[in-house]
Homo-oligomer: A and B are copies of this chain.
């Protein structure tokens, strides 16, 4: 486990990605998993393994990824690929524990620090440890198992669709478990039945072709930053409600089962408000319910300068970067259409390349849009018998009841498993939510690893 975390694993670092894949394949083979590397030209390999169980009639497939987010070393305390144990988060004064002490009597609150300690090497390690535990207790899995470990999820999974299509025959299963993401903020284990989709756009508005003196031309020459703030405000209110015509027409209403599940989600709002120093929240519903709705997030705005660099000038252009979270049955293409129709209604001429002087002179309002590809959301029914069976087995082993979340707020390409493999797919995350998974000092709480191992024993084992 320390060896696995010690190999740098940024998707673009081909030699180290290869070392990760080889080590992972070796760890799997050592456990009797029939393992091979699936390959697409120029992409990190998928480490794929099968463990057939004599007499088993059902197949469970597990997805995770072995690559990690790029690191900003200057922000880490310690090296991202030198695993360290600490008593707590660094910002809460966590102290380093020598590895020898750790082995003797580890405290469940201690944390393991390394890039991908949580995201996503933790579930991979927990699955392999669960197999060991199952066997150590003299049992065998109750199912045929398939393992699919991707090497470029943090780079946006650019070849996942290709991998699933090319190997469709290999990847059939009665249930896919997507083991990415964190457990609930309450600390309780959870299953998520869906994920929001995502797309994004950069919008750029234009003023004069050179910066103008704000005294000589202010309140005559249009200010592109003001045009942009008006666009943003016309699209979204301060309570998270999207104001674009027709936006909610595509939203599939919550089912009775989803509403019931939401009612069971423990409240975390006060805890999070304290932790994040929030004086208010958007919307009037609990977090778990709000993430079943579409979202429009302003990722960033750039125009002119602020602070000491600010000049008394009217900027020449202003750009906002926006991401949209999609819910069933929204699609990225439909989102583009609705946004573009909205901007046209505001009087904008839409361009997709940088406009020339003539375009700017002859159109009252010009906006440039640069769309991302995006992908849709997916949501499984909450009464799926295969899922309920897994839930019962986990609950029996761990003695904990799982939170059933209708959807993850974030995006994972669940839809590919639905659409390409025609399979059921739900999320079974194991790591702590406060793991700084995309930032510095990514960490895994030991209790989450241990619970995760138990969870996978529950997934693999026959019903008790």
A: residues with CB less than 8 A from B are 196, 198, 200, 202, 207-223, 225-230, 232-233, 236, 238, 240, 272-274, 276-283, 287, 290-291, 293-307, 309-315, 318-321, 323, 325, 357-358, 360-366, 408-411, 438-439
Contacts and interface: CB of A to CB of B under 8 A. Distances in A.
B287 A304 contact: no
A213 B276 contact: no
Contact of A301 (B312, B318, B363): B318
A236 B365 CA distance: 18
Given A217-B287, A218-B297, 15 more contacts: A207-B278, A208-B276, A216-B408, A218-B409, A219-B294, A220-B283, A222-B238, A222-B280, A226-B233, A227-B238, A229-B298, A230-B233, A230-B238, A298-B304, A301-B306
B287 A220 contact: yes
Contacts of A226: 232-233, 236, 238, 298
A310 B362 CA distance: 31
25 contacts: A198-B215, A198-B312, A208-B277, A210-B276, A213-B409, A214-B299, A215-B325, A218-B409, A219-B295, A220-B283, A220-B287, A221-B281, A221-B282, A222-B281, A225-B301, A226-B298, A228-B301, A229-B232, A233-B233, A278-B361, A279-B360, A297-B312, A299-B304, A299-B313, A300-B310
Contact of A306 (B202, B238, B276, B294): B202
Contact of A202 (B282, B307, B408, B409): B307
Which one of A219, A221, A282, A438 has the highest number of Cβ atoms from chain B below 10 Å of its Cβ? A219
